[in-house]
Amino acid sequence: MVDIVFHEQTKTFHLYNEHVSYLFCVLENGQLGQLYCGRRLHDKPDFSYLCERSARAMGAYPAGQDPAFSLEQIRQEYPSGGGTDFRHPAFSIRQENGSRIMDFRYEGFVISEGKPALEGLPATYVEDPKEAKTLTVVLRDAVTGLCLELFYTIFSGYAAIARSARFTNEGEAPVQIESAMSLSLDLPDCDYEWLQLSGAWARERHLYTRPLTPGITAIDSLRGNSSHNENPFMALKRPSTTEDAGEVLGFSFLYSGNFRIQAEVDTFSVTRVTVGIAPEGFSWRLAPHDHFQTPEAVLVYASDGLNGMSQTFHRLFARRLVRGEWRDRPRPILLNNWEATYFDFTEDKLLAIAKRAKDCGIELFVLDDGWFGARRSDHAGLGDWVPNRKILPDGIAGLSEKIDQLGLLFGLWFEPEMVNPDSDFYRAHPDWILQTPQRAPSLGRHQYVLDFSRPEVVDAVFVQMEQLLATSKISYIKWDMNRSITECYSAAYPPAQQGEIYHRYILGVYALYERLHAAFPHVLFESCASGGGRFDAGMLYYAPQAWASDDSDAVERLKIQYGTSLCYPISSIGSHVSAVPNHQVNRVTPLHTRANVAHFGTFGYELDLGRLSPAEIEAVKGQVAFQKRYRALLQFGTFYRLKSPFAGNETAWMVVSADRSTAIVGDYRVLNGANQPFSRLRLRGLDPDACYTVSGGAQLHYGDELMEAGLVTSSALCGEMHGEAGMPRDFDSRLYVLQKKE
């Protein structure tokens, strides 16, 4: 059920489905006032009392209006700045005369079934127009002739609303857009905790929570990608909200470049949330007849806690953001050679690794960095997507054929956006990198960033990639991006347009993905940016999965994967079993724990199986068989976080099948201890009236028992039942498979 109603008399819009209501109205000055965003309400014609106002000291009001009509106090939909509202605006536009005052007034609206695509940008979509309704509100600034369209899509069955904005210059003179948020939402109070995912390379998406206080709380990226440091996701939860109960609003920005997510708590305790492209470094020249479309932001409301919010994001993103042949398919179990060999490989070595992978039941062999041009270290070769015949005598075509004959799919690594100074590509086109006149471009990992704002550059990379894809058996591409953007200036654009380059760059990345996607629809893309530097919802539109982090240590991964699960589906989280001592933190964790963590993701291996003992190989075979048996559930089931790694020594999570007949619980303990307390896990999402067996045991437990009394886990990590024989130990873990008894 989904509907959008317009009440003519009060000029009130009510968007609602079975879960949420979103209400706003046309104010008496023709601008838009926000009324309500939250749990579903009964519809009625008049909610105008929700637009509080009063004449206050120091308030300013527009000429001709009542002194109580001060925009500073009125909750709005897409506020402008410089007038009687002194908070941060949703947009800023400069006219040629230097004025930044804009007054967009309501002109009309259109309600349509379904959801239109966003030109050149990632967006949620519908397959049947009945799945959603879209409201387009049209506003105009009389002085400049600029038209502003605000898009709202509400989906049936999801407590989610997608928003974006489009400016069209229907006037005579160019204007400069200095900021244009995708979403602005004024909430009536500030009794929230702000939750964000932050980190660094190899430490991505750790969870941070802090109370909202008066003033600005914000996260952003100015690195040209969405970044390891901050993720384009934020949630506002009530202080009492837990994983399982209470209100929360989640905000996800479907964009892979610079962003800013901000909450401004004003002096009247109103909270203004804005989500969009970071204004810093951005400016867009809008010539007459041109338009500018913002990326999309998705807002999720939940009254059943953080798990409820995450489950809505997971379902929406897995089904209606990810596209293509791989969307609903359990993902192939892969072996990636990076940590097995780094740059030190020959074709024979690769084939030996692949053969062992096949023997263990692995399905996809991925050749990582180092197969092309003069690339024998990270100092050379990027840009030359031509196989190095000294190490691959039959090229990628020959290698992929040999891998195919082993009965494996073949995948290949690219870093399409980059070039090493020591490459034929750079020598031929030194002017095709991002660089500022008269200043030396900075390096990152010995490489420059190609100017993807230029279609001819994107085209030249596409031609090289197409050639390989068309002539080889490639089923998977890992698309890497290993440095931040600096000196973001393009020789192809005039001075007045240099503020467009960060955004045009990302549009170029999306355009290349789109072309490859269209030409090779069978290819599964995995995005990557030195691990999880571009793990964002924008990327998911093109690449159904993303390498979550270069840190593959099982203990570190508990935090990374737990944090990632706040917004992103388990089917999108690239997670592999790697060698010990771990290459990033030098920790030795048991093989079963490395697998028990990696199972909650797209599962694979990142090691040389030839270095494992026969017993370990048998264990790997068991892990692969387990993943094959349960991967549809692990990747597409309903995921619940049970115990947070940010709160203590133990982590637990679980997935439940849609029919609640099967569930898998992951239980992890970092450090062992002597004489441990008893422990239980109160499970979630089971059928309370059904009986379940636990890991094939003879005892039956009702779902209500397992959810209320809890699953007794004390013995499992105290010696009797843990995954490998022997004494309990540090870094131990256990998976439980719950099966409903018919």
- When asked if residue 595 is in the footprint of ligand DGJ (CB under 6 A), the reply is no
- When asked if residue 552 is in the footprint of ligand DGJ (CB under 6 A), the reply is no
In this structure, which amino acid lies at residue 297? A
Q: What are the beta bridge partners of residue 302? A: 248
Secondary structure string (H, E, C) spanning 3-70: EEEEECCCCEEEEEECCEEEEEEECCCCCEEEEEEEECCCCCCCCHHHCCCCCCCCCCCCCCCCCCCC
Q: Nearest distance from residue 401's CB to ligand DGJ, in Å? A: 23
Q: Nearest distance from residue 339's CB to ligand DGJ, in Å? A: 8
DSSP state of 609: G
- When asked if residue 384 is in the footprint of ligand DGJ (CB under 6 A), the reply is no
Residue nearer to ligand DGJ on the CB measure, 307 or 388? 388
Residue nearer to ligand DGJ on the CB measure, 315 or 349? 349
Q: Nearest distance from residue 317's CB to ligand DGJ, in Å? A: 22
Binding mask 329-368 vs ligand DGJ (x if CB under 6 A, - otherwise)? ---------x-----------------------------x
Query: Of 357, 451, 447, 476, which is closest to residue 406 (Cα–Cα)?
Result: 357
- When asked if residue 602 is in the footprint of ligand DGJ (CB under 6 A), the reply is no
How many residues touch ligand DGJ (CB under 6 A)? 11
Distance from C-alpha of 637 to C-alpha of 324, rounded to nearest angstrom: 19
- When asked if residue 526 is in the footprint of ligand DGJ (CB under 6 A), the reply is no
Distance from C-alpha of 254 to C-alpha of 534, rounded to nearest angstrom: 11
Binding mask 436-475 vs ligand DGJ (x if CB under 6 A, - otherwise)? ----------------------------------------
- When asked if residue 550 is in the footprint of ligand DGJ (CB under 6 A), the reply is yes
The stretch among 231-239, 272-280, 310-318, 526-534 that binds ligand DGJ (CB under 6 A) is 526-534
Active-site annotation, residues? 480, 550
| Candidate residues 224, 531, 601, 637; the one interacting with ligand DGJ per rule CB under 6 A | 531
In this structure, which amino acid lies at residue 21? S
Angstrom CA distances, 567 to 262, 312, 536, 657, stand at 17, 9, 9, 19
The stretch among 184-192, 528-536, 645-653, 658-666 that binds ligand DGJ (CB under 6 A) is 528-536
Q: Nearest distance from residue 356's CB to ligand DGJ, in Å? A: 20
Q: Nearest distance from residue 591's CB to ligand DGJ, in Å? A: 20
CB 134 within 8 A of CB 153: yes
Residue nearer to ligand DGJ on the CB measure, 539 or 663? 539
Alpha-carbon radius of gyration of the chain: 27
- When asked if residue 204 is in the footprint of ligand DGJ (CB under 6 A), the reply is no
Residue number with the shortest CB distance to ligand DGJ? 369
Instruction: Report residue 579 CA to chain centroid gap.
Output: 27
The stretch among 103-111, 291-299, 485-493, 523-531 that binds ligand DGJ (CB under 6 A) is 523-531
Q: Detail the DSSP E strand segments found in 170-239.
A: 175-187, 193-198, 206-211, 215-221, 230-237
Q: Nearest distance from residue 480's CB to ligand DGJ, in Å? A: 5
- When asked if residue 577 is in the footprint of ligand DGJ (CB under 6 A), the reply is no
Axis crossing angle, helix 614-636 with helix 591-598, rounded to the nearest 10: 20
DSSP state of 397: H
Residue nearer to ligand DGJ on the CB measure, 367 or 399? 367
Binding mask 404-443 vs ligand DGJ (x if CB under 6 A, - otherwise)? ---------x------------------------------
679: tokens are: 């422990």
Q: What are the beta bridge partners of residue 5? A: 14
Residue nearer to ligand DGJ on the CB measure, 187 or 449? 449
- When asked if residue 83 is in the footprint of ligand DGJ (CB under 6 A), the reply is no
Distance from C-alpha of 517 to C-alpha of 542, rounded to nearest angstrom: 7
Q: Nearest distance from residue 341's CB to ligand DGJ, in Å? A: 11
Q: 374, exposed or middle or buried, with CB in 10 Å at 0-12, 13-18, 19+?
A: middle
Query: Of 186, 250, 248, which is closest to residue 35 (Cα–Cα)?
Result: 186
| Candidate residues 259, 426, 547, 603; the one interacting with ligand DGJ per rule CB under 6 A | 547
- When asked if residue 480 is in the footprint of ligand DGJ (CB under 6 A), the reply is yes
Q: Nearest distance from residue 526's CB to ligand DGJ, in Å? A: 10
- When asked if residue 151 is in the footprint of ligand DGJ (CB under 6 A), the reply is no
The stretch among 219-227, 248-256, 527-535, 620-628 that binds ligand DGJ (CB under 6 A) is 527-535
Tally Cβ neighbours within 10 Å of residue 105.
Answer: 15
Residue nearer to ligand DGJ on the CB measure, 392 or 528? 528
Residue nearer to ligand DGJ on the CB measure, 25 or 367? 367
Q: Which letter, b or e, does each residue of 324-360 get, where b requires 16 or more Cβ atoms within 10 Å of its Cβ? A: bebeeebbbbbbbbbbbbeeebebebbbebbbbbbeb
Instruction: Report residue 705 CA to chain centroid gap.
Output: 35
Angstrom CA distances, 23 to 72, 191, 618, stand at 20, 20, 58
Q: Nearest distance from residue 375's CB to ligand DGJ, in Å? A: 9
DSSP class per residue in 139-189: EEETTT-EEEEEEEEEETTSSEEEEEEEEEE-SSS-EEEEEEEEEEEEES-
Q: Nearest distance from residue 413's CB to ligand DGJ, in Å? A: 6
The stretch among 189-197, 275-283, 524-532, 611-619 that binds ligand DGJ (CB under 6 A) is 524-532
Note the residues at the interface with ligand DGJ (CB under 6 A).
Answer: 338, 368-369, 413, 480, 482, 528, 530-531, 547, 550
